[in-house]
Amino acid sequence: MAKQRPVRNVPKWVRWLLPVILLAQIAFHVAGPAPVAIAAQLGSPPAINSLRLAALGEPVGLAVLLDLYLQAFDTQPGVSLPFKALDYQNIVRWLDTILTLDPHSGYPLLLASQVYSQVPDQAKQRTILDFVFRKFHEDPERRWRWLAHASIIAKHRLKDPQLALTYARAIAKEATGPSVPSWAKQMQIFLLEDLGEREAAKILLGGLLASGTITDPHEARFLMERLKALESAELSSKTSKP
């Protein structure tokens, strides 16, 4: 006996109803509003213990989902300045929670330093950069790159070289492992130079060259040239004084 009867055994009204009601479902969906993430709808993150419980032993997987969930609030179609509409204290709480769930992930800090820092609001920029700075102290060897970007944002967007220098000094002081590239450790030298503190920059540069940590000959030559340039600039400024 055949397992299924032919389609002609299905009553005609069922054969008609099925495609018609399927079209009705599609029409209903198309006619309805498209899902849009609204800034005001981003509530506070759940407590970390609740999330750990909800993760069912998979905090890394849940952290990824939360990253994507939070990201959906950044990319609201048709909204030209979506970041401005976001509550940055709340964003920081979300990022902090996600980072606590998965401390090895760079995703929340990337969102903070590269995405949320683009907001055209200095107070919000400072809030998010401060978050990156705070989280850097917990794992400098792994998180230096986000603070380096924060330093650049502080210098060029916030026009606050002192804040940029604070971040750069923290990298040089705390991120001392071999995985941290020299340019990151040297950031403070160039920032000091920009600030007009040539003497401090010269000492730092000289110390770096003398320490033997620069192994690449091209890099060493470049830094030597920078040191010479600083010294000649210092000399010319002294001779030009009345």
Partner 1 sequence: MLKSSANTALTPLTARTLAIARYTLLEAWRNRFALLLIGMLIVAVLASIFVRQQAITESARAQVAFLASSLRLGTVFIVAIYVLQGSLREFHDKVLELMLSLDLPRSSYLAGKFLGYALISVSCAVAGSLPLLALAAPQDVFLWAYTLMLELWIVAAFALFCITTFTQFLSGATFVLAFYLLARSISAIQLVSQSTLAEPGLATDFGAFLADAIALVLPRLDAFTQTAWLVDAPVVPLSMPGATLQTAIYVTLLLAAAMFDLQRRNF
Binding site for partner 1 (CB under 8 A): 1-7, 9-11, 14-15, 17-18, 21-22, 24-26, 28-30, 32-37, 68-69, 71-72, 74-75, 77, 115
Q: How far is the CB of 114 from partner 1 (least distance, A)?
A: 9
Residue with tokens 């905090």: 59
Say which residues have a Cβ less than 8 Å from residue 210's Cβ, sequence separation at least 6: none
Which lies closer to partner 1 via its Cβ, residue 16 or residue 183? Answer: 16
Q: How far is the CB of 103 from partner 1 (least distance, A)?
A: 22
Which lies closer to partner 1 via its Cβ, residue 32 or residue 242? Answer: 32
Helix, strand or coil, per DSSP, at residue 227: helix
Q: How far is the CB of 9 from partner 1 (least distance, A)?
A: 6
Pick the closest to residue 126 from 101, 162, 85 (CA basis): 162
Which lies closer to partner 1 via its Cβ, residue 5 or residue 241? Answer: 5
Which lies closer to partner 1 via its Cβ, residue 70 or residue 205? Answer: 70
Rounded Cα distance, 138 and 110, in Å:
16
Rounded Cα distance, 137 and 145, in Å:
12
Q: Which helix (H) or strand (E) holds 222?
A: helix 217-239
Which lies closer to partner 1 via its Cβ, residue 26 or residue 60? Answer: 26
Whether the Cβ atoms of residue 93 and residue 44 lie closer than 8 Å to each other: yes
Rounded Cα distance, 94 and 116, in Å:
12
Which lies closer to partner 1 via its Cβ, residue 105 or residue 182? Answer: 105
Q: How far is the CB of 127 from partner 1 (least distance, A)?
A: 20
Q: Which phi and psi (to 5°) does residue 72 adopt?
A: -60, -25
Q: How far is the CB of 67 from partner 1 (least distance, A)?
A: 10
Q: How far is the CB of 223 from partner 1 (least distance, A)?
A: 35
Which lies closer to partner 1 via its Cβ, residue 81 or residue 229? Answer: 81
Q: How far is the CB of 68 from partner 1 (least distance, A)?
A: 5
**Burial state string for 167-202 with b = 16 or more CB within 10 A and e = fewer than 16:** bbbbbbebbeeeebeeebbbbbbbbbbeeebbeebb
| Alpha-carbon distances, residue 90 vs 42, 94, 96, 124 (angstroms) | 8, 6, 10, 11
